[in-house]
Structure formats: structure tokens, C-alpha cells
Structure 1
């Protein structure tokens, strides 16, 4: 028996409606906050003292953030506090603004982060150079002591090599830190151990600027250390370190850079740089934010290429190849566990 025309039309219209509803349902189920929905992941970074322009730690972090913007399409923001006490304000503001990931490069925010993070469970926080426990906190640690050991070994080899122009042949090197703290002394102790691994008689002069943003103070300390026969000076002092490098250039001796490749700042007077790949860590955190999966602790050392010496683009030809080969040998010994470097932050 034939179906009446009006009933056939009704049946067809009903089928179309069912298909449309199914399509809408499918479209809605694919939504959410992950990257596949087309929504940009939002990432904010709070710098440490000194802010951007330090050509070191903060700038390295910013490079990682730029990469997240360029390659992941992330929406990014950088905040530069004038003082560590502003950490609570900015951590709170950024969480309230809906950022998926809030990174602080200042370990001085440790206490306030522990208090703030539980209040914003939908925001992931990350802090560098210290461990803060929490369900939505990632702690990023670098084995700076390992890279510093290599720098100390190289410094001890070079300082007594009279074939290098303008070095005095004395077994004296030095260190300039931003503050006297476990975080800074982690670099110092590694540097000292590396130097004395080469020659136990190596003397290491130590000074602190008590600031990460005072280049003139850094230069003053450096010139004083040079007067005491130091001719390789390792600086771990943020923007203050620019003054250390300037002092080394003034007297035509060697500085050692930190955190990023600072060799270009004074070509031929920055022996090498102990690179802490903050940029790599920030980018890896950004990828985790896009995927929505985080680790509680990330540790990066020589083995993970999280710390390394620079390529010595401007000084390699000035240095005895045997010295460089020795440092490479020591690097492998650290990676293989044959040499253990003290981490004062874990004592």
C-alpha cells in the first residue's frame, strides 16, 4: 500500500532533524579547554628581581615564553615585580585573570605560593629553584652545581696557564654572588669543588653584592678581586653580573657568565657561561599546560642538558685544547656518577 505524500514528507523532515541534532551533539562534546578546541592556553610568568633585560636568568625564561607563543600559539604575559614582596599580589591577580599556568622565577615567592595555590585549584603554578608541595604546583630544579663544577675546573686550568695572554699564572680565581644564600652558594660550592678537583691549592676569593641589579657594585667587587690576583671571575648576580663582566673587560682578564650564553657581552673576556636552560624549562611547562598534564618536580642537570657550558665561541681558540678535553672528560664522569658534586640546598 502506498504511503501518502504528506506522511512521506513528515518522515523525511523527522530524519533531517534527528541528523542535525546528532551533529550538534557531536560538535558540543568536542569542546573544552584543551588545545584541540581551538582555545589558546594562557601562560603568565613573573620574573625575579632585576626583571627583563638582565641578559641572563629572566631573559632566558622570556625566550621560552616567546617560543610558547610562536610555536604553540599560547597567550602569554610577563610581570616584572619591583620587589619580592609583590609576589602575593601578582600570583593572586594572574590566577584570578584565568591563566592556565602561572610561572614564578623567584624562589622568594615560595611561602606565598604555598598559601595561594590551594585557593585556585584550576590554575597550575610553577616555581623555579625550590620545592613547594601542592596538588597544582610544579617545582623546577636545576643542577647548577654540576655546571659550576665544570666552570671551576676550567677556571683552575686556565688561571695557571701562562700561555694565555694577560693571566698572571697565579692559582687564584674568584666568585661574585648576588646574595649569601643556599641558592647562590649552590653555584659557589660547585665552582670551588671543580677548581680543587684540578688543583687543591687553587684559591677562590668570594664576594657578595647584596643586589641583583647593581652593575657598579659588581664592577667594584671585581676590580678588588683582580687586585688580589684573581684573573677568572665567576658571577652569579643577575644584572649585577654585567658589572663583573665589565670589570673583567677593563683589566683584560676573564669573567664567567651565568644562566644564559653571555659570551657575546665582552667577546674574548667571557671565558665561558654556565647556561641554565630556563628557556627549555619554560617551554616544556608550556607544552604541559597545552596538554593539561603536569609533573610535581622537574630536575634538569648535565645528563638532561638542563645545564651546560657555552660553546666558547670567542675564547675556544685562546685556550689549550687539552684543557677543554679535560673538562669534557669531567662532564662525562659527573653524568656517569663517577664524580659527585655537592648540592648545598639538600644538606
Structure 2
């Protein structure tokens, strides 16, 4: 734990009132001290999906808004167009007065390492990108494979065709962990089954997500899981067009409102809570550098079911749900 100091701007106004009368004199001095606190600026650099991706950028933003309101921070945001913009976008926010930079996504790792070295007196909260050995960087990683495993096990128990699809974003160790976790979970409950996974190669192409999911449904998948940012929205559209008996499995914070009749369950990360907690700590003058890894036990990942209990029960019996709970 590293202790940090915030700068307070204090203004002192001294008013001296002097009164004279007869042979007596008296001097009255009144000192009024007014202290105003300069807001700490938090800078958020989104990945290429931008705000409104209905995925991790929005989840981070949710945590930032809560922290900003509660701890009186000032929030500045730059939405990245290209991965190559990440470092310059961070520099821009730092030069505009940001004390803390918040980013989320594996592709940020190199940029965070570079910029953090250039600004050793600034702080960096990096989610899903691994940066170690720097005093001014805190990396929070998730055990995606744990939630993916449970989601896969659920899919294996409810699948009628024995085939599941998986739409991933951009190739990375994070995505590999999630894919492998889902496959292992599916095969644990459906040993004779098959999982077809396809990378979208992007996190912000709704049309690409729809195209891939349509292909997977055509190949026999009745459940398609997606872990690909804004591409997820295309998967949900494809589930509707695929018709009866075809469903989607979401991500982020659940995304059930994006297709209430087709998204049965989701693998979720509580990244909004992680962002809020890190900034709550910072508001106390504390910063934890290094790497923190959060799984199901730590409350970092989990699966959620569609809030429509009737829909879920029409697909998964109580026995199935109990089996999933025991995993």
C-alpha cells in the first residue's frame, strides 16, 4: 500500500480592525480561514469500442460515475479510435491535469507501461491489462475462465443439439482463457458435445458479430456465447433471426435488456465495482500498486441468469440450476 498526498489550496484572509478612544486603545484582529479543495481529476481512456458499447467501457464508466459523484472527483474522458491512440490519449489527459488514468482492456498493457514511466508522479488503474513492477500502476485482472467454465457447463446441460458457439473479440491471453474455460465447462456436462469458437478480430463491429453468430447457428449451435464488446449486440440480433430454440449467452454486466427473450445467462465481470473500490481507496490517500487477480470467490466474476425467472425455468429445470450452483 502506497500512501499518497493530495494538494489542497488554502486561502487565508486576515482582517485587522483597529479602534481608538480616549486614553484606551484596543486592537481587534479577526482571522478568517477559507479552505477550498481542488478536485482531483480522473482521466478515462476508452478502448476502440468507446462509450455505448454495452460492454466493458460502459461498465467502467458506470463505476467512474459513482465514484465521481461520491468522492467529488472531476472526470475527463477520451474515446480511442485506434489502439495506436492509447498512449497519446493518456498523455493528453495527464497534461490537462489528470492525477489518475483509468483504462480497461488487454491491449493497453504496453501503452500503460510506457506512459507510466514518463509520468512517475501520476497514477494508473489498469483493468484486464497486466502491468507489474511499477509503483504507480495498479493492475486488476480477472479469472475469466472461471465464469466461462460455469457458463459453459450450464450451456452443456441445456443444449438440445450438443453444439455451442463462442464469439470472441481480439486474440489475446484473456480471450484464450475465456474460450478454454467455456469449452471445458461445456464438455464437463456434455462429453459428446462440441464448441465452435470464432474470433471477430474486433470489439466494435456489430455487423461482424451478427455474421459470425448466424454462421454458428447455421452450423447447429443452439447456444452462442459472446465475449466481444460491441460485437455482442450483433450476436443478440442473430439469435432473434435464428428463430425458436436458438439462444445467446451474454457478458459484461449481463446485457439482458439488449434481448430479453434470447439472452438466457451471461458471464459477468464486476469491473464497475472494481473501479469504484480503487477510487474509493484513492480518495483516502492510498494506492495499491502491483497485480490483483479476482475470480468467483473474490467477487470478480460470476454468471447471472435472465431476470425473467419464468423464461429461465422454461429452459433449465431446478435440477439443472442446482447442478450449476454446485460447480
**TM-score (normalised: structure 1):** 0.81
Cα distance in structure 2, aligned partners of 1:8 and 1:129: 74
1:182 corresponding residue in structure 2: 173
Question: 2:18 is matched with which residue?
Answer: none
- Aligned residues between the structures: 300
Name stretches of at least 5 consecutive residues in structure 1 with no aligned partner: 32-36, 160-168, 331-347
Matched residue, 1:324? 321
RMSD over aligned Cα atoms: 2.0
- Judge conservation of contact 2:144–2:174 (CA < 8 Å) in 1: no
Measure the CA separation in 1 of the matches of 2:77 and 2:319.
43
**1:248 is matched with which residue?**
239
Pair 1:193 & 2:184 matched:
yes
Report whether the alignment pairs 1:259 with 2:258: no
Per-residue deviation, residues 53-110 of structure 1 (Å, max 9, x unmatched): 1111111111111111222221112211100100111111112222121111132221
2:296 aligned partner: 302
- Tell me, yes or no, if structure 1 residue 144 matches structure 2 residue 139: no
What corresponds to 1:234 in structure 2? 225
Deviations 1:186-234 (A, max 9, x none): 1101101111221222210111111212122211111111121110101
Q: Which whole-Å deviations, capped at 9, do the CAs of 1:5-33 have from their partners, x for residues lacking one?
A: 99985xx64xx66xx6xx67xx69xx7xx
* 1:270 is the counterpart of 2:229: no
Structure 1 residue 122: Cα displacement: 2.4
Contact in 2 for aligned 1:41/1:289 (Cα 8 Å): no
Q: How does 1:1-347 map to 2 (within 5 A)?
A: 9=25, 13=27, 38-133=37-132, 134-159=134-159, 169-252=160-243, 253-296=246-289, 297-314=291-308, 315-318=311-314, 319-330=316-327
Once the two structures are TM-superposed, the CA of residue 295 in structure 1 deviates from its matched residue by: 1.3
Q: Which runs of 4+ in 1 moved over 4 A?
A: 5-9
Which one has the largest radius of gyration? 1
What does residue 12 of structure 2 align with? none
How much does 1:131 deviate? 1.9
Question: Is 308-317 or 189-198 further displaced after alignment?
Answer: 308-317
Distance in 2, Cα, partners of 1:49 & 1:263: 23
What is the CA–CA distance in structure 2 between the aligned matches of 1:148 and 1:180, rounded to whole Å? 16
Cα distance in structure 2, aligned partners of 1:287 and 1:280: 10
Aligned CA distance change for structure 1 residues 96 and 196 (closer, same or farther; 3 Å): same
Change (3 A) 1:291 1:149: same
Q: Distance in 1 between matches of 2:37 and 2:23?
A: 43
Deviation at 1:177, TM superposition (A): 0.8
